[in-house]
Amino acid sequence: MRAALLSAVWLSTLALARAFNPLHHSGPAAPYFDAPSQAGIPKEIPEGCVVDQAAYVVRHGARYPEPGSYTGWVTLYNKLQNSSTPYNVTGPLAFLKTWVPPVDDPAHMPLYLSGVGALESFQLGVQLRNKYKFTPGGGNLTVWSAAQERVLATAANFLRGYLAQGSYVNNATLNRGAIVSMPDSVNWTSADSLTFTNGCPNYSNGDQSGPMKAVWSNLWQPRVAARLNSLYVQGELNFTASDVSVMGDLCGFSAEVDGDTRFCDILTPDEWLDYEYGNDLNYYYGSGPGNPYAGTSAWPLVKAITDLLVAGPGKTTGAGTFTPAPLIMSFTHDNDLPPVIAALGLWNSTLGVYPLSNSTRSADRDFRSSYLVSFRGYVALERLNCTTPSGSSQYVRVQANSAPIPIPGCVSGPGSSCPLAQFAQYVSQDRLQHVGEFVSTCNNTAANATQGATLITLGVGDLVGEGS
């Protein structure tokens, strides 16, 4: 009887391991994937509704590692190659004896978009063209981008997919897409940037990501290192907690750079959840709701998007002469997505699990970095135009990586959406009261500091000298 019970438990564990996908728990190293439905809200556009306007804030597509991360890969490689005593590794570590870092041009590759990143970006363009049908043919589209190469490349590949055209190098006048490249935020840009946290001096004072994640890492990474050393290492080679961190990062990066998923097999499912939670702590306390200035930094952009949704498609707001298309696309970095969530007051108050503990994994938390800051991750705000018995009404729903997120206290519309007028009040009054206005709360002392974000009502012609 006991043998039969143990066999059943083993089979159940094996089935769980086979169903578990580490790439869906890899945080910022994950290639893009659709997040699962949240709070029981269907992903489909509610029956009787159409999306007549949408705004996306998108992280760039998959890239090669940052130089600092690449240094960690090389350190691991050198440790494996330069051991002064013989060793052997077995099981899921056996491949390490012949492994080499998947970067063949280290002088140029780090920080730049990979082939998978270009494909992710192109695919997003195709998907949104097919989903919304805003551009049936012949139309143009302007998008906004932070200034770094990988972000601009993401925007360019998106446009190629969305507009179903090539890139006309020899005759630029034939290109139907335009990119407004926004300068990286500093004091003088105020909130008018897609790297808006850099224009909020107090933001760094509220960033507690380092110490919060360090406490958690010290709890789980040494335990994994000890397990690996006891099971799979013979000889004097000794893996450390730092090595475990590098191996975890290499799961997602190797998968997207060259299709190698062998690092994904090193950690157990439970250890992957610990790895993911470390990233959750990093983003929650660094650029998300756990940083009291994160929502402040992103609120001007959220307010500007809200004003456009209230005005409706084909309308403009502010002083610009440019009328945005129904699809408003902004491209930026991973650390600029959690502030948007914080500005909207999402993923921060349900089930009583906040603030996130750095000593115990909060299993019931809503905030999960893998569902937001994966490569090509996004926050989207959709304006729904719905037919009701009393006529036509407008609503707003927010999505992260395709999954709708309920807006606190405002879920009375179709598909748990929020009535547009109520959403506008929620952003302009409730959220502003919570996060504070940009200049004084951020302690931005620039002489020309401004409170609002006008960038999405400015076209290339309005930004002469700013880059395009």
Given this model, what pLDDT does residue 105 score? Answer: 87
Same domain, yes or no: 86 and 227: yes
Nearest partner of 377 among 124, 159, 100, judged by Cα:
124
| Cβ proximity of 362 and 171 under 8 Å | no
Same domain, yes or no: 233 and 266: yes
Identified catalytic residue from 192, 249, 274, 334: 334
Digitized pLDDT (tens) for each residue of the chain, 468 residues in all: 434 433 333 333 334 445 899 999 999 999 999 999 988 999 999 999 999 999 999 999 999 999 999 999 999 999 999 888 889 999 999 999 999 999 988 888 888 999 999 999 999 999 999 999 998 766 789 999 999 999 999 999 999 999 977 667 788 778 889 899 887 755 556 678 899 888 899 999 999 999 999 999 999 999 999 999 999 999 989 999 999 999 999 999 999 999 999 999 999 999 999 999 999 999 999 999 999 999 999 999 999 999 999 999 988 776 667 888 899 999 999 999 999 999 999 997 544 446 899 999 988 889 999 999 999 999 999 999 999 777 789 999 999 999 999 999 999 999 999 999 999 999 999 999 999 999 999 998 877 777 888 888 776 655 533 333
Given this model, what pLDDT does residue 172 score? Answer: 74
Rounded to two decimals, the pTM is: 0.92
Same domain, yes or no: 262 and 332: no
Q: Which residues contact 230 (CB under 8 A, 6 or more apart)?
A: none
| Cβ proximity of 203 and 192 under 8 Å | no
355 cis-preceded (ω within 30 degrees of 0): yes
Kindly provide the b/e burial profile for residues 185-213, where b requires at least 16 CB atoms within 10 angstroms of the residue's own CB: bebebbbbbbbbbbbbebbeebbbbeebb
Same domain, yes or no: 51 and 153: yes
**Which of 224, 259, 286 is the endpoint of a domain?**
286
Same domain, yes or no: 119 and 236: no
Token look-up 């363009």 returns 125
Q: Which residues contact 342 (CB under 8 A, 6 or more apart)?
A: 287, 288, 289, 291, 294, 295, 298, 348, 435
Q: Which domain, by its residues, includes 71?
A: 65-111+208-286
Active site residue 108: no
Same domain, yes or no: 81 and 220: yes
- The three-state secondary structure class of 69 is helix
Active site residue 334: yes
Same domain, yes or no: 344 and 301: yes
